[in-house]
Amino acid sequence: MQQRDKMLKLEETFDLQKDVVFDILRKEASVCRVKEYSEAVDTRILNIESDGSILYSWKGSTGTTRIGKYNSNNKQNKLLYTFDKQVCVSSCSLNKEETLLAVSLTQNT
């Protein structure tokens, strides 16, 4: 067996910009009632769930922090929660039924 046959072949299955940020920009444009939202979006990956879903947060255009879920099976995004102000989310997890979202926040001192 050649050395080459022992190497792993890795495939990209998720691209934050393509799979999440473009969708966020579209939603923020709708919230702001503009054709195109052009401000930078601070998006952070928070957790990868056991089913492969990716939980992420971003600072919304209205001064809020939002948590979303990217479903890697159907390649769709879903808004899970919106805080009424900007907060620093350090991690989160979602139960299988999507009825409980556990969130850890970092407090600014």
| 38 assigned to some structural domain | yes
Q: What is the per-residue pLDDT across 67-86, written as a single tens digit (0 to 9) for each?
A: 999 998 999 999 999 999 99
**pTM (two decimals):** 0.80
Find, among 36, 40, 33, the residue nearest to 60 by Cα. Answer: 40
In a domain, 2, yes or no: no
By C-alpha distance, which of 48, 70, 68 is closest to 58? Answer: 68
Residue 95 CB neighbours (<10 A): 10
Domain range holding 54?
13-106
CA angle 70, 71, 76 (to 5 degrees): 75
Domain count, the chain: 1
| 94 in any annotated domain | yes
Q: Distance (Å, rounded) from C-alpha 2 to C-alpha 95? A: 45
- What three-state secondary structure class fits 63? coil
Q: Is residue 69 part of a domain?
A: yes
- With respect to residue 6, please indicate whether it lies within any of the assigned structural domains: no
3 in a domain, yes or no?
A: no
Tell me if 53 is assigned to some domain: yes
pLDDT tens for each residue of 16-70: 989 998 888 887 766 655 555 556 678 999 999 999 999 999 987 778 899 999 9
On whether residue 35 sits in a domain, the answer given is yes
